[in-house]
Amino acid sequence: MSGGVAAKTLREGGYDGRLVLIGHEPTPPFGRPPLSKTYLRGEESLSGWLVNPDKWYESNRVELIAATAMGVNVPMRQVELDAGRSIAFGKLLITTGGENRQLDLAGAKLPGVFQLRTVADSDAIKEAAHRGARALVVGMGFIGCEVTASLTQMGVKVTSVLPGAAPLESVLGPEMGALMAGIHRDAGVELVAGDEVVRFEGANRVERAITRNGRKLTCDLAVVAVGIRPTVDILKDSGVAVDNGILVDAMCRTNVPGIFAAGDVANHLHPLFGRIRVEHYNNAEKQGAAAARSMLGSDSAYGYVHTFWSDQYRHKLEYVGHVRKWDRFVVRGSLRDRKIVGFYLTDGVLRAAVGLDRGGDPELDEHGELAAAGRLIAREARPDPRALADEAIDLEHLQIQER
Ligand SMILES: Cc1cc2nc3c(=O)[nH]c(=O)nc-3n(C[C@H](O)[C@H](O)[C@H](O)COP(=O)(O)OP(=O)(O)OC[C@H]3O[C@@H](n4cnc5c(N)ncnc54)[C@H](O)[C@@H]3O)c2cc1C
């Protein structure tokens, strides 16, 4: 995603020299969101999710090289590829994304135990997920929740195991966690909370999982969705600084001149939120473009007020801002009706907002409540929590006390 957008931005920005995109997936750059949703359920192909149409690369003289980058030789200014080849660079953008965390458990490699990152992963899950099958989902972050929802919609009986009390609780808090738990339970999902899988068992294929609390969960397939780790292996011994991803400044520059990073792999210095690494589509897209502009000589900081979305069943979740710890969560709307906008405040400053079937897409609906919240977040506003909760008060006209 990030690499494809960067290539497009470089050409649109007037860069006319040699442009090479190295990647080891068979598809040209595309968006992954449907892999856990419409594509998994067989409702949509990926053609609408390509970053650029297939022909764009040739007509814009962008060389797509299907290879694995093995290392970066900084003194020689070369990327070393498998099969002994290397590509020289003047400037280099690293957008290697993330790879799924593995569970180091007995039976985790049994056939029928899946992960989800690639088209091949999604195809394999789809093939195993016939109507009436029993699936186990391990982890209830965004991917786990979406796979749980999609499999349920496909007529699969799903049990989901999660270490915390409720789905998405660590990102969205206990109120939203309880809401999401209710949505999954109402759809027929068995949530096994506060527990974890300790081993998978089966003769030739996964048949059950055993949990720490001694539950024996029978299944025909299992999907492990326990997060990603940033893919930084190619930078080993390169001198490019790495710490929970590739460390970049606000212009997407690493500590080595001429080398940039963007997307899931980039741990960037954000003017509002400090140092963060974001694993969402909108960031991959916008930061890929921002990095390309920096490569072209721009010195503007990447200060995007982050947004993301998640689709589960018929519900749409939208989020704007960024916060890890907050001291107040204010609800506008009705938790009972599951239609709310929730606001996260830290020391009185609005840091993030979440919408469940309410508030609009902060990227598309500029008059929506979440877009308005995004503008308050960008100003580090200190809105009155009572006004945030008050349906009668237009967020746009909220009286705020500046920081
Ligand atoms: C199933 C799924 C659903 C998602 N749904 C949503 C959603 O609804 N909303 C949302 O906001 N976000 C969603 N995301 C997250 C979003 O897709 C990611 O944030 C985005 O893909 C990150 O883009 P990227 O370009 O940084 O990395 P990636 O998309 O991971 O691309 C990195 C590429 O680099 C390649 N690569 C890595 N190392 C090497 C190497 N050494 N040599 C060659 N190639 C290499 C990889 O194979 C990959 O093709 C979803 C992710 C998944 C997996």
Query: How remote is the CA of residue 14 from the centroid of ligand 1, in Å?
Result: 27
Among 20, 22, 32, 37, which is best to mutate for testing ligand 1, by the most ligand atoms less than 8 A from CB? Answer: 32
Predicted TM-score (pTM) of this structure: 0.97
What is the position in ligand 1's atom list of the atom closest to the CA of 4? 25
Q: Which helix (H) or strand (E) holds 274?
A: strand 274-277
Query: How remote is the CA of residue 392 from the centroid of ligand 1, in Å?
Result: 41
- Predicted local distance difference test score (pLDDT) of residue 403: 54
Query: How remote is the CA of residue 246 from the centroid of ligand 1, in Å?
Result: 15
With H, G, I as helix, E, B as strand and everything else as coil, classify residue 295.
helix
What is the position in ligand 1's atom list of the atom closest to the CA of 265? 26
What is the position in ligand 1's atom list of the atom closest to the CA of 32? 17
Query: How remote is the CA of residue 264 from the centroid of ligand 1, in Å?
Result: 7
- What letter represents residue 140's amino acid? M
| Contacts of 19 by beta carbon, 8 Å cutoff, 6+ apart | 7, 10, 11, 60, 61, 62, 63
Query: How remote is the CA of residue 97 from the centroid of ligand 1, in Å?
Result: 5
- Residue 7 phi/psi, 5-degree rounding, is -60, -45
Pocket of ligand 1 (CB under 6 A): 1-3, 22-25, 32-33, 35-36, 68-69, 95-98, 116-117, 143, 231, 234, 263-265, 279-282, 284, 308-310
Q: Which of 32, 28, 33, 26 is nearest to 4 (CA)?
A: 28
What is the position in ligand 1's atom list of the atom closest to the CA of 22? 43
Q: What is the CA radius of gyration of the chain?
A: 22
Q: What residue ranges define each of the domains in the chain, with the CATH number in brackets?
A: 2-98+229-295 (3.50.50.60), 113-226 (3.50.50.60), 314-401 (3.30.390.30)
- Predicted local distance difference test score (pLDDT) of residue 236: 95
Among 281, 286, 302, 308, which is best to mutate for testing ligand 1, by the most ligand atoms less than 8 A from CB? Answer: 281
Query: How remote is the CA of residue 35 from the centroid of ligand 1, in Å?
Result: 11
Distance between CA atoms of residues 39 and 51, nearest Å = 16
Contact 97, 234 (CB under 8 A): no
DSSP symbols for 77-106:
TEEEEGGG-EEE-SSEEE---EEEPPP--B
Indicate the DSSP class of residue 197. Answer: E
Calculate the alpha carbon distances from 398 to 343, 381, 385, 394 in Å.
14, 10, 11, 6
- Predicted local distance difference test score (pLDDT) of residue 83: 81
The per-residue pLDDT string of the chain (403 residues; one tens digit each, 9 = 90 and over) reads: 999 999 999 999 999 999 999 999 998 999 999 999 999 999 999 999 999 999 999 999 999 999 999 999 999 999 999 988 999 999 999 999 999 999 999 999 999 999 999 999 999 999 999 999 999 999 999 999 999 999 999 999 999 999 999 999 999 999 999 999 999 999 999 999 999 999 999 999 999 999 999 999 999 999 999 999 999 999 999 999 999 999 999 999 999 999 999 999 999 999 999 999 999 999 999 999 999 999 999 999 999 999 999 999 999 999 999 999 999 999 999 988 999 999 999 999 999 999 999 999 999 999 999 999 999 999 999 999 999 999 999 998 887 765 5
What is the position in ligand 1's atom list of the atom closest to the CA of 81? 42
